[in-house]
Structure 1
Amino acid sequence: MAVSNFAGSPLEEIVLANPATFFQLYWSGSRDDIAYRVERAKQLGVKALILTLDATAYASRDWGSPSVPERIDLMNAMRFFPVALSRPQWLLRFPLSDRFPDLKVPNLSTAKDGVPAMFEGVMRWVQTPRPAWEGVAWLRRLWGGPLMVKAIFHPDDARRDVDSGASAISVSNYGGNNLDTTPAALRALPTIARPVGGDAEVLFDGGVRRGGDIVKALTLGARAVLVGRLWIFGLAADGERGGVGEVLQILRAGIDDTLVRLGQDSIADVSQDDLLLPRDFELQSTSRRTSAVTKYTSPGPAFAGSRSLERSAL
């Protein structure tokens, strides 16, 4: 389980509940601030560090962002009270919890400034210069344990990350939120997995909504798949067991159903012969060391299909 810098619960409580915790680090503040958070994660026994590079600056969106108050005070409580009343089951859970939401981000704290509020933490992150490749190597030396860089969208970047000490990378375009018309991350996955898959673990995230999506990603070169929005939807709808547990069961059932319909006994038996891919599905890119231009082929979806259908289509 990965826990973000922007999580609302302290890392101490999360690790206590789940010792197999990864810490997702945003490059925010000075190097002293980052070192403070890394040392805190070390002391708590965090299993791995995830450096987030697919969101190194705030991206404005044409459709705006959800209305989130800067703090919970009387005015905001009155403003959002009608919304809370429309979700009585959700509202009744608060008296059973040990704290009222304060919209602070305790995992973005620093040694001198304490715990910032959500928007204060966002502003610190936005104002922090983006890291260079040397920063990845510095973080690897500082951390000393497994380090995954999230997220990579070009094979040259993947190679530089691995050369800088990353033990894993995640192929992602941050859900397509940061740059309009960005190609689907799934199309970049095989191009990245082939050259570095033998030197580092390759993971995938972005757009995973069902078990069949997981099968596609694993078949195209990913070692594992990350999901974020799905379990958040489940948690918001019905808590940990009824919500998150149900999401995981749906994904597991989707994987099993896909394997049955492909006629395979396990994911290990699935190959690209089981995928129906358009001829120009895989992104072809020029090296950034010789050209700043990345050539993208036209988009096309991937479909899980039978071998006979795949052969006849091509």
Structure 2
Amino acid sequence: MSQWFETVAEAHRRARKRLPKSVYKALVAGSERGSTLQDNIAAFGELGFAPHIAGLPAERDQSTTVLGRRLSSPVLISPTGVQAVHPDGEVAVARAAAEAGVGMGLSSFASRSIEDVIEANEETFFQMYWVGDRERVLARAERARKAGAKGLILTLDWCFAHSRDWGSPPIPEKMDLRTKLGFAPQGLLRPRWLYGFVRHGLPDLTTPNMVPPGAEAPTFFGAYGEWMFTPPPTWEDLAWLRERWDGPLAIKGITRPDDARRAVDVGADAISVSNHGGNNLDSTPASIRLLPAVVDAVGDQVEVLLDGGVRRGSDVVKALALGAKAVLIGRAYLWGLAAEGQAGVRNVLDIFRDGIDSGLMALGKSSVAELAPEDVIVPEGFTRTVPVA
């Protein structure tokens, strides 16, 4: 029980205590001033509940369907890049998610291959950036199909600002001997973390899901550089991919109602209201503030997901009440992974499950499908609507 924690905040505290300073700072950084990062979290605190006291349901059901997959929870693992907070990385996360019946999002920039992760969790969705020409994009999608991915998540909320990481340390291009020696003092101050990686080998910061056929896996910065210099996709490019990928497709990064409608037009099955966890264009409002307008714009034509600032089960309940089908969590499970590996991720997922259950009970709902806008107290001026010409 000494390894168990009762809140995501405690997982965060343990992760900060365990991780080397630069690794920890890479997890918590946001763009420029961090305005969006802070608003993502603060906005949930502005929303209120008015719980009932009698006639409450004795049993509550959290199961839902996302991208055609029946899942036990409306919480999904958001895809995040190289997970150097724990030696088992994405595989540990996938195993914990599988135990909890939770869908797994795997990043193109992950440190473990899609084949390894799907072996650990069959309910895996592969996330892609638009990197390289159309043939390269399609080749990665086909690899995901062959591996057994249940859908694609196409992430488009990234503007390559040079001052992207507010407070974030520089990330080394590769873990050569010189880099390891320079990193050694930080590692020695965190012996538990260092011991785990010494046993398994220090992370090499490569991206096995970005490797072209017959080539070695590029470094994180090699893949990032190619992405950075790839022209951003057009709506025609997205329609082209939709025509060639016949599985479920989600477009992640929506903040505007007009973009949401365009995503519907190109045939997306789901969209995610997202500002990349506060790491895209700073001063973008919190995702939860933008959610209602996006839901109003698309109705039931497409599943609407949300990510950004979700730290509690009550946050999930608020997002679902305002129209989201499910949420994706990022930093929360990474803190669990850093704190206690696979068990820590499962711990975090259980915390969310308990929080959602408490919210459903107090609001008198027997399932997450019953949540509605009237279950949330929304203060005047809370939502943000993008003006559209």
What TM bracket, shorter-length normalisation? 0.7 to 0.9
Instruction: Please tell me the root mean square deviation across aligned C-alpha atoms, in Å.
Output: 1.9
Cα distance in 1 for partners of 2:218, 2:363 equals 50
- The match for 2:349 is 248
Pairs within 5 Å for 1:269-284: 269-284=370-385
- The match for 1:311 is none
Cα distance in 1 for partners of 2:361, 2:188 equals 44
Deviation at 1:280, TM superposition (A): 2.2
- The match for 1:196 is 298
Cα distance in 1 for partners of 2:326, 2:260 equals 16
1:77 is aligned, of 173, 180, 193, to 180
| Contact 2:108 2:209 (C-alpha < 8 Å) held by counterparts | yes
- Amino acid of the residue matched to residue 245 of structure 2? W
- The match for 1:137 is 239
- For each residue in 1:100-122, what CA deviation from the matched residue of structure 2 results, as whole angstroms up to 9, or x when unmatched? 42110111112365421111111
- TM-aligned CA distance change 1:270 to 1:200, over 3 Å: closer
Cα distance in 2 for partners of 1:62, 1:247 equals 25
CA radius of gyration, larger in? 1
| Contact 1:27 1:56 (C-alpha < 8 Å) held by counterparts | no
- For each residue in 1:42-74, what CA deviation from the matched residue of structure 2 results, as whole angstroms up to 9, or x when unmatched? 111111000001125345237343232221222
- The match for 2:308 is 206
| Contact 2:165 2:279 (C-alpha < 8 Å) held by counterparts | no
1:161 is aligned, of 246, 263, 272, to 263
- The match for 1:91 is 194
- TM-aligned CA distance change 1:229 to 1:284, over 3 Å: same
| Contact 1:59 1:178 (C-alpha < 8 Å) held by counterparts | no
Name the structure, 1 or 2, with higher relative contact order (CA <8 Å, separation 6+): 2
- Amino acid of the residue matched to residue 46 of structure 1? A
Deviation at 1:25, TM superposition (A): 0.1
- For each residue in 1:181-204, what CA deviation from the matched residue of structure 2 results, as whole angstroms up to 9, or x when unmatched? 211111111111123231111101
1:52 paired to 2:155:
yes
- TM-aligned CA distance change 1:160 to 1:58, over 3 Å: same
Deviation at 1:160, TM superposition (A): 0.8
Deviation at 1:261, TM superposition (A): 4.1
- The match for 1:24 is 127
Pairs within 5 Å for 1:262-273: 262-273=363-374
Deviation at 1:141, TM superposition (A): 1.5
Cα distance in 1 for partners of 2:315, 2:121 equals 27
Cα distance in 2 for partners of 1:268, 1:19 equals 24
Quote the sequence identity (%).
50
- The match for 1:295 is none
Cα distance in 2 for partners of 1:273, 1:149 equals 28
Cα distance in 1 for partners of 2:204, 2:165 equals 28
> Tell me, which stretches of 5 or more residues in structure 1 are unaligned?
292-314
- For each residue in 1:221-257, what CA deviation from the matched residue of structure 2 results, as whole angstroms up to 9, or x when unmatched? 000000111111111111011x101111111222223
Cα distance in 1 for partners of 2:165, 2:110 equals 25
| Contact 2:207 2:220 (C-alpha < 8 Å) held by counterparts | yes
| Contact 1:170 1:202 (C-alpha < 8 Å) held by counterparts | yes
- The match for 1:108 is 210
Cα distance in 1 for partners of 2:144, 2:383 equals 38
Q: Extract structure 1 runs of 4+ deviating beyond 6 A.
A: none
| Contact 2:115 2:147 (C-alpha < 8 Å) held by counterparts | yes
| Contact 1:19 1:45 (C-alpha < 8 Å) held by counterparts | yes
Q: TM-score, normalised by structure 2?
A: 0.69
| Contact 2:323 2:373 (C-alpha < 8 Å) held by counterparts | no
Between stretches 6-15 and 113-122, larger displacement belongs to 113-122
Cα distance in 2 for partners of 1:56, 1:130 equals 10
Q: TM-score, normalised by structure 1?
A: 0.85
- The match for 2:284 is 182
| Contact 1:33 1:111 (C-alpha < 8 Å) held by counterparts | no
